[in-house]
Chains A and B, each alone.
Chain A
Amino acid sequence: MLQYWTAILTEASIFAILALGIDMIWGWAGDFDLSAYAYFALGVYMTMVLTIGKAKSPVEYVLGWHLPYLLAIAVAVVVVIAFASIIGAIALRSLREVYFSITTFGAVWAIYYFVENYTPLFNGYNGVYGLFDPMGYGMSYAAYHYVFLAFCAVTLFGVYLLVQRLSRSPFGRMVRAVRDDEKAASVYGRNVFGTKYRTYLFGAALAGLAGGLFAAYIGAFSPLDWKPTEIFVLYAAILVGGRGNPKGVVLGSFIVYVGFVEMTRYIPSPAARPELGPALRQILIGVLIIVMLRFRPSGIIPERLGTDGTEGRRSWRYLFARSSAPPTSVLAWHEARPSMETVVPAEPRPEAGT
Chain B
Amino acid sequence: MAGTTTPTETPLLKIWGKMSIFWISVGLGLSTAAILALSAVAFTLEYAVSRVVNLAHGEILTIGAYSAYVAETTFHLNLYLCAVVATITGAVAAMSLNFFLIERFRSQKSLSTLIATLGASLILQNLILIAFGGASVSYQFDQGTLLHVGPFLWTTITIKVMVSAVVVAILIYFLLQRTQLGKALRAVSQNRELAQVSGIPARRVVMQTWMVAGAVSGFAGFLYGETIGSITPSIGNGFLLLSITAAVGGGLGRPYATLGGAIVLGLVMAVAGTYTSSAYQLVIAFAFLAVMLLIKPSGIFVRGRRATVRA
Residues of chain A whose beta carbon lies under 8 Å from any beta carbon of chain B: 30, 32, 90, 93-99, 101-103, 105-107, 109-110, 113-114, 116-117, 229, 232, 235, 273, 275-276, 279-280, 282-283, 285-290, 293-294, 297, 347, 349-354
Contact = CB atoms under 8 A, between A and B. Distances in A.
6 contacts: A106-B241, A110-B287, A282-B125, A289-B119, A294-B104, A349-B190
A114 B280 contact: yes
A276 B130 contact: yes
Contacts of B256: 353-354
A294 B177 contact: no
Nearest to A352: B189
Contact of A98 (B110, B189, B280, B283): B110
Q: For the complex, would chain A's binding face be called helix, strand, loop or mixed by DSSP majority?
A: helix
B147 interface: no
B290 A99 contact: no
Given A109-B241, A113-B280, A103 B290 contact: yes
B286 A106 contact: yes
Interface string B276-288: 0101111101110
A90 B290 contact: yes
Interface in B124-138: 125-127, 129-130, 133-134
Interface stretch (B66-74, B86-94, B211-219, B302-310): B302-310
B105 A283 contact: no
Contact of B105 (A94, A105, A235, A293): A293
A290 B120 contact: yes
Nearest to A281: B126
Contacts of A354: 254, 256
Nearest first, the 10 closest Cβ-Cβ pairs linking A and B are: A110-B286, A286-B122, A289-B119, A286-B123, A352-B189, A279-B126, A286-B119, A117-B279, A106-B286, A290-B119
Contacts of B283: 110, 113-114
Contact of A96 (B255, B280, B294, B308): B308
B309 to A, nearest CB: 5
A256 B311 CA distance: 31
Nearest to A287: B123
Contacts of A286: 118-123, 126
Given A106-B241, A110-B285, A283-B123, A293 B116 contact: yes
Contacts of A101: 53, 111, 114
A339 to B, nearest CB: 12
A294 B191 CA distance: 24
Contact of B311 (A99, A117, A289, A353): A99
Contact of B307 (A94, A99, A288): A94
A229 B126 CA distance: 11
A258 B48 CA distance: 40
Contact of A352 (B112, B185, B286, B306): B185
A98 B241 contact: no
A113 B111 contact: no
Interface residues of B, number: 66
A95 B294 CA distance: 9
B126 to A, nearest CB: 4
Nearest to B248: A102
A232 B122 contact: yes
Interface in B44-63: 48, 53, 55
Given A99-B248, A279-B127, A290-B123, 11 more contacts: A94-B308, A97-B109, A97-B110, A98-B311, A101-B53, A110-B283, A117-B279, A279-B129, A285-B122, A297-B108, A353-B177
A99 B297 contact: yes
B166 interface: no
A316 B207 CA distance: 46
Contact of B286 (A30, A107, A232, A294): A107
B31 interface: no
B30 interface: no
A232 to B, nearest CB: 6
Given A275-B129, A283-B126, A109 B282 contact: yes
A49 B118 CA distance: 33
A352 B253 contact: yes
A280 B125 CA distance: 11
Contacts of B115: 32, 235, 289, 293
Interface in B185-235: 185-186, 189-191
Contacts of B82: none
Most chain A C-beta atoms within 10 Å of own C-beta, residue among B122, B127, B285, B309: B122
A351 B290 contact: no
B279 A32 contact: no
B277 A117 contact: yes
Contacts of B129: 275, 279
Given A97-B310, A351-B186, A103 B293 contact: yes
B241 A352 contact: no
A44 to B, nearest CB: 20
Contacts of A106: 241, 244-245, 285-286, 289-290
A273 B282 CA distance: 30
Contact of B190 (A102, A107, A114, A351): A351
Contacts of B244: 102, 105-106
A32 B114 contact: yes
B101 interface: yes
Contacts of B280: 113-114, 117
